Structure 1
Amino acid sequence: MPGRSIVARWKAPAAALIGAGLCAGMETAEAQDIAERFADGVCYARTYSADHLAEHPGQKVARIWFTADPDMRPDGYAAVLKFAFTLRDGRFYQSFAYCRADGFCGTEGDGGRIQLTGRGQNLRMSIVDYLIVEGDDFSPDLMQSDDRVFLLYPGPASACG
Structure 2
Amino acid sequence: MTFRAGEWKTVAGAGFGVALLGLLAGTAVADDALKLRELSPNGADVCFGRVYDAAHLKAHPKQKVARIFFYYGHDPVSRPNEEPTANAETSYNGFLTTTVRGAKAPQWAGGWCNHESEDGTSGPIRCGMDCDRTMASLKVDDKGRLVVTDVSADLYLDAGSEEELGKAEYDRQALGSEDDNFRLDPMPAATCKAEFARIDPIDPALGPPLRERLKPDQAFCYGRDYDAAHLASHPNQLTQSIRVFRGPVELASYASGGDVANWPDGADIAVSVTTRLKSGKVTQTYSCQGEADQWRCAASSKMSDFSCDIAQKEIFLKRGANGTMMLANPNSSLAIIDLCSKASDGKTKSDDKVYRLEPMPQSACAP
Judge same fold: TM > 0.5, yes or no: yes
Which residue of structure 2 lines up, in the alignment, with residue 127 of structure 1? 329
Looking at structure 2, the residues matched to 114 and 126 of structure 1 have their Cα atoms a distance apart, in angstroms, of 6
Q: Deviations over 1:61-109 (max 9, x none)?
A: 0000011121222447252111110001334211111110211110124
Alignment of 1:1-161 (within 5 A): 16-17=10-11, 26=87, 30=209, 32-33=211-212, 35-36=214-215, 40-68=218-246, 69-73=250-254, 74-75=257-258, 77-91=265-279, 92-102=281-291, 103-109=295-301, 110=310, 112-119=313-320, 120-133=322-335, 138=338, 141=344, 143-161=348-366
Looking at structure 2, the residues matched to 97 and 33 of structure 1 have their Cα atoms a distance apart, in angstroms, of 20
Looking at structure 1, the residues matched to 349 and 315 of structure 2 have their Cα atoms a distance apart, in angstroms, of 14
126 and 41 in structure 1: CA distance in 2 versus 1, 3 angstrom threshold: same
Number of equivalent positions: 146
What percent of counterpart residues are identical?
21
Q: Deviations over 1:20-51 (max 9, x none)?
A: 98958616974623633x86432101010011
Deviation of 1:145 after TM superposition, in Å, equals 0.5
Higher relative contact order (CA 8 A, sep 6+): 1
- Structure showing the higher helix proportion among its residues: 1
Looking at structure 2, the residues matched to 53 and 114 of structure 1 have their Cα atoms a distance apart, in angstroms, of 22
Could you tell which deviates more after superposition, 19-28 or 101-110? 19-28
Is residue 210–residue 318 contact of structure 2 (8 Å, CA) maintained in 1? Answer: no
Looking at structure 1, the residues matched to 230 and 217 of structure 2 have their Cα atoms a distance apart, in angstroms, of 30
Deviation of 1:18 after TM superposition, in Å, equals 7.8
Which residue of structure 2 lines up, in the alignment, with residue 4 of structure 1? none
Is residue 104–residue 114 contact of structure 1 (8 Å, CA) maintained in 2? Answer: yes
Is residue 31–residue 78 contact of structure 1 (8 Å, CA) maintained in 2? Answer: no
33 and 145 in structure 1: CA distance in 2 versus 1, 3 angstrom threshold: farther
Is residue 44–residue 153 contact of structure 1 (8 Å, CA) maintained in 2? Answer: yes
Cα RMSD between the aligned structures?
Answer: 3.5
Work out which of the two has the higher radius of gyration on C-alpha atoms and give 1 or 2: 2
Q: Structure 1: which 5+ residue stretches go unaligned?
A: 1-10
31 and 62 in structure 1: CA distance in 2 versus 1, 3 angstrom threshold: closer
- Structure showing the higher strand proportion among its residues: 1
Deviation of 1:144 after TM superposition, in Å, equals 1.7
Is residue 31–residue 100 contact of structure 1 (8 Å, CA) maintained in 2? Answer: no
Aligned AA for 2:300? E
34 and 107 in structure 1: CA distance in 2 versus 1, 3 angstrom threshold: farther
Is residue 244–residue 271 contact of structure 2 (8 Å, CA) maintained in 1? Answer: yes
Could you tell which deviates more after superposition, 144-153 or 124-133? 124-133
Could you tell which deviates more after superposition, 57-66 or 107-116? 107-116
Helix, strand or coil for the counterpart of 2:270? strand
Looking at structure 2, the residues matched to 160 and 39 of structure 1 have their Cα atoms a distance apart, in angstroms, of 17
Q: Structure 2: which 5+ residue stretches go unaligned?
A: 20-77, 90-207, 302-309
Is residue 78–residue 101 contact of structure 1 (8 Å, CA) maintained in 2? Answer: no
Q: TM-score, normalised by structure 1?
A: 0.73
